[in-house]
A = this chain, B = another copy of it.
Amino acid sequence: MGRMDLEAIAARLRRHGVTPTSQRLKIASVLFSCMEHLSADQVMLAVNRRKPVASKATVYNTLNLFVKKGLIREVIIDPSKLLYDPRTDQHHHFYDIATGKLSDIDFSELPIHSLPALPHGTMLDGIDIVIRTRPATA
């Protein structure tokens, strides 16, 4: 898991109105260099692997802050926990129901040709597509 340049990450945080602290930098570094869909718990473990860096409260607070500031996105697929997605561009997901593994689908690979009429008084906010898969029967 390569480590993105810390200065670049700090700039990214600032661009989103987030003051870069050492904990936030470490957490952002884990999210952006690993580029997988991590749970809060996995972030917690990765961040504190070598030495204690951030407490559980800080990890949760920071992840929520990042979401609010648009640095990452929540993924709601696993009913038992939230996952965090370092990609914020339009894309979708494969979800393996056996392994729980998530993988990305580029927006261009799954274009939506037409939308049904939205309910009265509402406007579009976004579209989430999850393609559930399971291990192929041998």
Residues of A within 8 A of B (CB): 74, 76-79, 82, 94, 96-97, 103, 105-106, 109-111, 113-116, 118-119, 121-137
Indicate which residue in B77, B103, B123 contacts A76 across the interface (CB closer than 8 Å): B77
Interchain CA distance A116-B115 in the complex, whole Å: 19
Establish whether residues B137 and A125, one from each chain, have CB atoms under 8 Å apart when the complex forms.
no
A sample of 8 more A-B contacts (CB under 8 A), given A122-B135, A124-B131, is A105-B116, A110-B114, A118-B133, A119-B133, A123-B133, A124-B133, A127-B129, A128-B132
Q: Which residues of B contact A109 (CB under 8 A)?
A: 116
Tell me, rounded to whole Å, the shortest Cβ–Cβ distance linking A36 to chain B. 14
